[in-house]
Amino acid sequence: MPYPNERPRRLRRTPAMRRLVGETSIEPRHLVLPMFIREGAAEPRPVPSMPGVVQHTAETVRKAAVEAVEAGVGGLMLFAIPEHKDAQGSGAHDPHGALNATIHEVVSEVGDATVVMADLCLDEFTDHGHCGLLTPDGVVDNDATLRAYEQMALAQAEAGVDVVGPSGMMDGQVGAVRAALDSAGYTDVAIIAYAAKYASAFYGPFRDAVESSLIGDRRTYQQDPANIIEAMREVRLDVDEGADMVIVKPAMSYLDVVAKAREIADVPVAAYQVSGEFAMIEAAAANGWIERDRAVLESLTSIRRAGADIILTYWAVEAAQWLHQR
């Protein structure tokens, strides 16, 4: 009677055995919580397409930041929705503007207990919704936008941010931001660069969350989902320009890009599990079609398995709390 020579099932027999041989783990410190703040809001406002996610007020963001610290998350990534938007996105570099004021508040609340990061992009601040400044013909002007990012980086550094996250996919943005920070003496402010950021349909709910008024699309600056060689070029450029960490975004449909970035980059690689990925799992779970908590942990595990050192996820606090209970 022929027996199988190899029996992988032996290592799956008991929970203890499975625990012993598990290859991939997630710890709360690997998770970064994206947070939205709405300028002038009196009450936190739920984001309809992202169940459980709110636009915070200046008050509630502090509390939520403390809760995240208590859960042990590795970092916070701040986004703000200004009351007034204009063509230049001038709220972005206003020291009292929505984002810079929030950075200041959150940093004074949490100190060094976690890493405070901020999105460095104009799209939340411009009335046309693009990530950069427009020429009179409506084209995103790369180099004029770099000057705006430099101003924004300085305002965020002044507000006390630990890490800036340039996410506009302008050519040369990391180098420009690094030089501006250094020449103003902010040599300790780190850069997490959205290096491989795709023009993705999975950002849909985020645009609700930041009340984006985007006209057109972002395909002249965000990447084509078909391309991975180009993504490696973007990663190489950002590391050469001084990125301390790089991000691949979205995560779940781009795990090959995460894996390859982990191979070629000698800095920590983060993956951003974006709003649409979150919404899909929440919506399917709400219908009873999948088991929510298992699906969430499986998604995070797969992103880590692909090679992400850090995961930006709207489930950061909840997942961190589960991980403590295990």
In whole angstroms, the minimum distance from the beta carbon of 48 to ligand PBG comes to: 15
Q: Does residue 203 bind ligand PBG (CB under 6 A)?
A: yes
Q: Under rule CB under 6 A, which residues in 146-175 are in contact with ligand PBG?
A: 167
Catalytic (active site) residue 260: no
Strands (E), the chain: 31-38, 45-46, 54-56, 75-81, 115-120, 163-166, 190-197, 245-249, 269-272, 310-312
Catalytic (active site) residue 85: no
314 is an annotated ligand-binding site residue: yes
Which residue, 80 or 265, has its beta carbon nearer to ligand PBG? Answer: 80
Q: Does residue 223 bind ligand PBG (CB under 6 A)?
A: no
Look up residue 214 and give its amino acid: L
Rounded distance between C-alpha atoms, residue 91 and residue 157, angstroms: 15
Q: Under rule CB under 6 A, which residues in 105-134 are in contact with ligand PBG?
A: 119, 121, 123
Q: What is the DSSP string of 104-163?
A: HHHHHHHTTSSEEEEEE-STTTBSS--SSPBPTTS-B-HHHHHHHHHHHHHHHHHHT-SE
Strands (E), 42-106: 45-46, 54-56, 75-81
Q: Which residue is nearest to ligand PBG (CB)?
A: 206
Q: Does residue 274 bind ligand PBG (CB under 6 A)?
A: yes
Q: Does residue 33 bind ligand PBG (CB under 6 A)?
A: no
Query: How many residues make contact with ligand PBG (CB under 6 A)?
Result: 9
302 is an annotated ligand-binding site residue: no
As annotated, the binding site includes: 207, 218, 234, 275, 314
Interface residues toward ligand PBG, by CB under 6 A: 119, 121, 123, 167, 203, 206, 218, 274-275
The residues annotated as belonging to the active site are 197, 249
